[in-house]
Amino acid sequence: MTSSASSTGTDPALPPEAGFVAGSGAAFNDEELRWRENLPFWAVHAAALAGAIWVGFSTTALAWFLGSYAVRMFFVTGVYHRYFSHRAYKTSRWFQFVLALLGASVVQKGPMWWAAHHRWHHKHSDDELDVHSPVRRGFWWSHMIWILAHKYRATETDRVKDLAAFPELRWLDRHEMILAVAYGFVFYFLGGMTGLIWGYFVATVLLWHCTFFINSLCHVWGNRRYETTDTSRNNFFLAILTLGEGWHNNHHHYQRSARQGFYWWEIDISYYVLLLLQQLRLVWDVQGVPAHVRDQVVAPKRQRVAAGPTVAPVAGKH
Ligand SMILES: [Zn+2]
Ligand SMILES: [Zn+2]
């Protein structure tokens, strides 16, 4: 199969990345999977499995795994997602680069690639152009197969012009593979084979799939507090696994917030870390959720129940 994208019949009104063929009803027509270029993805899975069996489990292995997983999950959620994708807080240029450099350790390509695809997801959540919608494309596609498609390997710079203005971020996006390998050596030098296998390979695989769960599971499993135009859910279990990303319906309701657990009982560890970084003056203007936005849908329902059916609606839907 070749990727000769739609030389005829492409709707000029739609962006070229949509790959839309007018009249065919197929929004995605050139999603070729090139197995050879995806070998590193499968090799990391294999190294994690074989390595874990070979090195064996121990308390040291558990410590490397949990420590690496937790710290790097923060880089996914607190850095790639809440900073680079949504700009939900501010920081200096030098600390932005430090965050990007640390973020590269999660092996999910560069921050510009990540943010570009994520912004597209919010723009087209569960509509025809959403690249990873489980309700439109199926669970496994939304979970990971889309990442393996050749079409989505490039960084769509038009969607991240604010980030592309920084040459150091463009450099990092181009060299993400070198950095990913370099991090492997860092783990090996710090923790030997146990550090490399459990801290790097096993933790990276789990980091991948728990991140992917937000695109797949978090759009099909959980509760919907807000009537968003997509199928996003709030899920306590996924919120724990992903340091707060499981409050995905909250997030789709109000994307500007660096806080995704809107109430104190909605545990959001990434937000607590961001507050700590704010205390240390490394970041600032950490956005919260305004009360009227948080209560937009919940409050009128509660009031109707409390006051009976005659009470007038308090607020509009949006
Ligand atoms: Zn988001
Ligand atoms: Zn979503």
Among the bound ligands, name the one nearest to the CA of residue 82: 1
Residue spans of the domains in the chain: they are 37-289
Among the bound ligands, name the one nearest to the CA of residue 142: 2
Distance 65 CA to ligand 1 centre (A): 26
Dist CA 158 CA 4 (whole Å): 22
Among the bound ligands, name the one nearest to the CA of residue 218: 2
Q: Report CA dihedral (259, 265, 267, 268) to the nearest 10 degrees.
A: 10
Distance 235 CA to ligand 2 centre (A): 12
Structure confidence at residue 209 as a pLDDT band (50, 70, 90)? very high
Q: Report CA dihedral (158, 162, 168, 171) to the nearest 10 degrees.
A: -10
pLDDT in tens, 259-288: 999 999 999 999 999 999 999 999 999 999
Q: What is the pTM of this model?
A: 0.83
Dist CA 137 CA 26 (whole Å): 11
Distance 292 CA to ligand 2 centre (A): 22
Distance 134 CA to ligand 2 centre (A): 10
pLDDT at 274 (0 to 100): 98
pLDDT in tens, 87-121: 999 999 999 999 999 999 999 999 999 999 999 98
Distance 62 CA to ligand 1 centre (A): 30
Distance 184 CA to ligand 1 centre (A): 28
Distance 254 CA to ligand 1 centre (A): 9
Distance 84 CA to ligand 1 centre (A): 10
pLDDT, mean of residues 30-58? 92
Among the bound ligands, name the one nearest to the CA of residue 76: 1
| 3-state SS record for 260-308 | CCCCCCCCCHHHHHHHHHHHCCCEECCCCCCHHHHCCCHHHHHHHHHHC
Residues paired with 10 in a beta bridge? 21
Winning range, highest mean pLDDT, from 127-141, 207-221, 301-315: 207-221
List all residues 6 or more positions away from 211 whose beta carbon is below 8 Å from its beta carbon: 73, 76, 106, 108, 242, 245
